[in-house]
A and B are shown apart, each in its own frame.
Chain A
């Protein structure tokens, strides 16, 4: 009987070792697959404006600055602006929960502390009339993502932001900015 337990233990450990060595996590199948969700997000994140690309880009940069983003990278020849900002991520509900847990059990639960909000804005000229270059339209697409870090410095969330209201509000601000830009205010 004694042998049996010993051998079983050894075999289990060896099996686990092989599992550890061979099972690196692999990329999910849907990670680079275009889905309906992706196309819905495209509509959410894109608007067209009756301006040229350069004007729209500088109006967009101005709005991003209004919103407190810092620009990390820009390539005007391709119409790309990448920007980010760090902000508070504490929520009253989560803290209340943590306090109750602490009172009941004495254990300290980490709560969300701060978040890095990242965004890229890309413009693309749309030619509605190939012969007349003065009639130009430009499409703009912005995408937001965020990384939330808790009080222990661990990442608790990393996600794309797909809330319609956020994009709606951004484009409202952008149309105002395009208007201001056009009238040089």
Chain B
């Protein structure tokens, strides 16, 4: 029976090592889901070419959701914003043309110190955005 106990203890130690031994530099390029899946979650296409209007509407939507704008760049078409409400939620939204008739909007979010990779929060964001701009958000493959 003693052997069994030793076996269990060593199993426990191995488990602890497994959990704690991944180097934290791995986080630099780490994502949980696949790149393709993540893009489809975070991206929508809109049937408009008015980039400035889209950027202004993105900013207004972020403000509606309680964010303040940290950075906005007209040339790059990117907006970064932060929401503080006991937690810190940071978002970057970028707008760029897709073909002749569409704009692509991509959003990514960070909740405290973890990346947001669930589809639901992004769906809520794009719902709010398409309501504000009176256009349908198309899923991009």
Could you tell me which A residues sit within 8 Å of B by CB distance? 3, 6-7, 10, 13-14, 17, 20-21, 24-29, 31-34, 38-39, 41-42, 45, 72-73, 75, 77-80, 82, 118-120, 122, 124, 141, 143-147, 158-160
Residues of chain A contacted by B82 (CB below 8 angstroms):
118, 145
Among the 9-residue stretches B23-31, B35-43, B98-106, B120-128, the one with 4 or more Cβ atoms under 8 Å from chain A is B120-128
> Which residues of B in the span 1-28 have a Cβ within 8 Å of any Cβ on A?
1, 5, 8-9, 12, 15-16, 19
Beta-carbon nearest neighbor of A76 in chain B: B74
A38 touches B15 (CB 8 A): no
Number of interface residues of B (CB under 8 A): 48
Residues of chain A contacted by B141 (CB below 8 angstroms):
none
Contact with A along B79-114 (1 / 0, CB 8 A): 001111111110000000000000000000101101
Main secondary structure of the interface of B (DSSP, over half): mixed
* Residue of B8, B63, B74, B83 ringed by the most chain A CB atoms within 10 A: B63
Residues of chain B contacted by A38 (CB below 8 angstroms):
64-66
Report A18 CB to chain B, min CB distance, Å.
9
B73 touches A75 (CB 8 A): yes
> Is B69 among interface residues, defined by CB-CB distance under 8 A?
yes
Main secondary structure of the interface of A (DSSP, over half): mixed
Report A41 CB to chain B, min CB distance, Å.
7
B12 touches A10 (CB 8 A): yes
Residues of chain A contacted by B8 (CB below 8 angstroms):
7, 10
Q: A80-B69, A82-B70 are in contact. Are A122 and B15 (CB under 8 A)?
A: no
27 contacts across the A-B interface (CB closer than 8 A): A10-B9, A14-B15, A25-B112, A26-B111, A27-B116, A27-B121, A29-B120, A31-B89, A31-B121, A32-B109, A32-B125, A38-B64, A42-B64, A78-B52, A78-B56, A78-B59, A79-B56, A82-B69, A122-B59, A122-B63, A124-B60, A143-B63, A145-B68, A145-B84, A158-B86, A160-B66, A160-B84
